[in-house]
Structure 1
Amino acid sequence: MNASVLPLNNTTPLCYSINRPPFNYNHTIASAHFSAVFGALGLISNLIAFVVLLKSFQQTHSRSRSFFLIFLGGLVVTDFMGLLVTGSIVVSFHVTRFNWREIDPNCHFCNFMGMSMVFYGLCPLLLSASMALERFIGINHPFAHSTSMPKRRTISMVLMVWFIAGCIALLPLTGLGSYHIQMPGSWCFFNISSKGNDLVFSLLFSLVGLSSITMSFLLNTVSVVTLIKVCCGQDSNQRRRDYEVEMMVQLILIMVIGSASWCPLLVFIAQTVLSGANVKVEYLLLWIRLATWNQILDPWVYILFRRAVLKRIYPRFNWSRGSIMTLYPSLSDTIRREGVSRPCHHKSSGPHNQTTPQLQPNHAHPVAS
């Protein structure tokens, strides 16, 4: 997979200054089939997941559930577009074996693919961290969440994640880092180097990804502990809340898949640039392919781990319709009347607690968080 020897001069575009096509690469038909099959599988999976999420969004009456579905919808759209954009370029190369220097003499196409790789790589990790933050607030501070989190703000958070990832992807075009053709010539990515601005951008990409994974882990851990206390404490039959269980199961699986898919590549980039070693192409290709599995496996979390499926797997679980806000019946009642601004705990004693009706799990108020 060595690049052919071509004279390097001042007119050589930056993206071809390190690896210069065409490459001495023994192309096989299996490469095209492998890329096409996995690309098609990922696209179909995300389309199915989008339909499932759309139906769930139309049927849900829980505000916290609708917030979570908006984040999931953003993640599905991101994964679908990432596979569509990058996969179509890779498959086209394997089928036609086009020469990048001929079709893209000014590096515009290569820069576009490099930006796409960075953008669609960081978005799922950042969205996962945002979802973990939303669930942390929804489970640990349900009253504040239900009264101060409109749907427009959730949509704005998804757009903000896309904006941040887009700004990071644009940095190499401003001189902080650089995009280059990568062996075997089917894709472009930023230059992983321990020199100058390439070092800064490599560390930025790696640290943003690892920080997102760490944030997701910490927030999800606290949320799970809180949810276990709620579900397994006193009166556990009344405290099991299917929406929170479903969302946390999905979120934990998204975090596990994202961590297993991306951590090897992110750690590999950080180790390479900090040690000053040369990039090992075989490892880079291996970890990039592993990261691609994130976009293929994510949608199956939404498809398989839904309440309708979980009920069949574990029918003895008390799948009551409600949310964590129904743990505070006085608070839920006051939100329904829209007359007060602070919660009253259902364990408090007194006349008010005796006259306040106990909300049953199957009658949770729709605005509950």
Structure 2
Amino acid sequence: MEPDHGSLGSCFRSGNQTTNMSGKESEKLITSRWFSTTFGAIGLASNLFALCVLVSSSKKMHSRARSSFLIFLCGLVVTDFMGLLVTSCIIISYHFTKFNWIQVDPGCHLCNFLGVCMIFFGQCPLLLGATMAGERFFGINRPFSRSTSMSKRRAWFMVGTVWAFSFFLGLLPILGLGEYTLQYPGSWCFLTLLHDAKNIVFCLLYALLGTLSVALSFLFNTGSVVTLCRVYHDREAVQRRRDSEVEMMVQLVGIMVIATVCWLPLLIFIIQMVVQGPQSGTQPRQIPQSTEDNLLIYLRMVTWNQILDPWVYILFRRAVLKRIYPSLKARPSIVSLYPVLNPALSNKLTQESVLQ
């Protein structure tokens, strides 16, 4: 028995109650059940493998800076894994059963839950990437501004803060700022590209916050790389092993590049759509099919971020790099831009100056 359309929740728009529910468009490759299943399986396996490697590495790690960095990486991998697991369970179930959302979820509770998950698990990696980049920037450029390196408790607190903020952001449509609606081809829910004030504000908030996170990651990582390059050949700066810092920066730059390529198209598309205004000839709560098609394509690109993130850590570790490049040797590390001479090196330089 079909529920009364007048009692349906706000997640059903005029454009997706029929076209997107019928399944006639499901023959397209990008809406194929195998497309979603393959992406989900590869992503889950990749993140699970990376999590095992991270746990194994953390047990052997004695450096505080490196151990706190591993905690951030662990938070990122756990976020990506849980995001794929939760969303895939709902989306893949739809693709194989073709259940009717109107019958199964007339009150939009499942749709709202999926929307919160999409926002939460989408925003977390971007914010964590910016947080990791900022922590490394201050760790490299201002190592003496803190009495000690970041503790594990503080690192987990920062990860928890990012999770809490992203969860609050996901709750905003539930609290009245914007709304989650069913998206083409009827398998997932996301923020709504409608042009009423609340949806515009939420879309811009989400997209601009994500863009800001990518921009901050770029600025912090660029500053860290410049600092490392400036002192890379400085023989006088000897405290810790520099290869560990280079390894962390390579991984951070890899995470930043992947996030930029995978996320910016979607974020820019959202901003563009809400700023342009509604197209002529569309109904009040209808989104053009071309817009829904593009939104799905950009979402597929975002999925690659969750698949590729774990491989950045798996492949760009010293153990792997040394097998590929055996002549890679450990180098002394920097503590700040101001060199600290050890007695042995100081005596050696003094002797050399006398002989000259």
Distance in 2 of aligned mates of 1:95 and 1:248 = 42
The correspondence for 2:304, drawn from 289, 293, 309, is 293
Counterpart of 2:351 in structure 1 is: none
The correspondence for 1:20, drawn from 17, 21, 40, is 17
Contact residue 25 and residue 185 of structure 2 kept, 8 A = no
Distance in 2 of aligned mates of 1:171 and 1:271 = 21
Contact residue 262 and residue 291 of structure 1 kept, 8 A = yes
Q: Deviations over 1:225-246 (max 9, x none)?
A: 0011121345699997111010
Distance in 2 of aligned mates of 1:142 and 1:39 = 40
Distance in 1 of aligned mates of 2:333 and 2:238 = 13
Counterpart of 2:73 in structure 1 is: 72
Q: SS at the partner of 2:190? A: strand
Q: Deviations over 1:114-146 (max 9, x none)?
A: 111110000000000000011001111122346
Contact residue 238 and residue 333 of structure 2 kept, 8 A = no
Distance in 1 of aligned mates of 2:147 and 2:40 = 39
Q: Deviations over 1:160-214 (max 9, x none)?
A: 0000000000000011000001111010111112321000000000011000000
Structure 1 residue runs of 5 or longer lacking an equivalent are 1-5, 329-343, 348-352, 359-369
Counterpart of 1:306 in structure 2 is: 317
- TM-superposed CA distance for 1:29, in Å, is 9.8
Q: Deviations over 1:309-368 (max 9, x none)?
A: 111222223224x6433x79xxxxxxxxxxxxxxx9524xxxxx647999xxxxxxxxxx
Distance in 2 of aligned mates of 1:237 and 1:62 = 15
When the two structures are superposed, what TM-score results if normalisation uses the length of structure 2?
0.86
Q: 1:340-359 counterparts in 2 under 5 A?
A: 345-347=339-341, 354=343
Structure 2 residue runs of 5 or longer lacking an equivalent are 280-286, 348-356
Q: Deviations over 1:58-115 (max 9, x none)?
A: 1111100001000000000000001001112111111000001111111100000011
Q: 1:229-244 counterparts in 2 under 5 A?
A: 229-234=230-235, 241-244=242-245
Distance in 2 of aligned mates of 1:209 and 1:78 = 16
Higher normalized contact order (CA 8 Å, seq sep 6+, divided by chain length): 2
Q: SS at the partner of 1:214? A: helix
Contact residue 241 and residue 324 of structure 1 kept, 8 A = yes
Counterpart of 1:113 in structure 2 is: 114
Counterpart of 1:97 in structure 2 is: 98
Q: 1:1-369 counterparts in 2 under 5 A?
A: 10-18=6-14, 19-21=16-18, 22-28=21-27, 31-145=32-146, 147=148, 149-234=150-235, 241-278=242-279, 280-320=291-331, 323-325=333-335, 345-347=339-341, 354=343
Distance in 2 of aligned mates of 1:140 and 1:89 = 45
Contact residue 239 and residue 334 of structure 2 kept, 8 A = no
| Residue type at the aligned position of 2:263 | W
Q: SS at the partner of 1:106? A: coil
- TM-superposed CA distance for 1:151, in Å, is 1.6
Q: Note the aligned Cα RMSD (angstroms).
A: 2.5
| Residue type at the aligned position of 1:292 | T
Counterpart of 1:331 in structure 2 is: none
Counterpart of 2:282 in structure 1 is: none
When the two structures are superposed, what TM-score results if normalisation uses the length of structure 1?
0.83
Distance in 1 of aligned mates of 2:240 and 2:109 = 56
Q: SS at the partner of 2:217? A: helix
Q: SS at the partner of 1:124? A: helix
Distance in 2 of aligned mates of 1:355 and 1:211 = 46
- TM-superposed CA distance for 1:9, in Å, is 5.3
Distance in 2 of aligned mates of 1:260 and 1:194 = 27
Q: SS at the partner of 1:250? A: helix
Distance 1:60 1:88, change over 3 A: same
Distance in 2 of aligned mates of 1:92 and 1:45 = 21
Distance in 1 of aligned mates of 2:238 and 2:173 = 55
Distance in 2 of aligned mates of 1:355 and 1:199 = 64
Q: SS at the partner of 1:189? A: strand
Residue range with higher mean Cα deviation, 19-28 or 208-217: 19-28
Distance 1:145 1:46, change over 3 A: farther
- State the number of aligned residues: 331
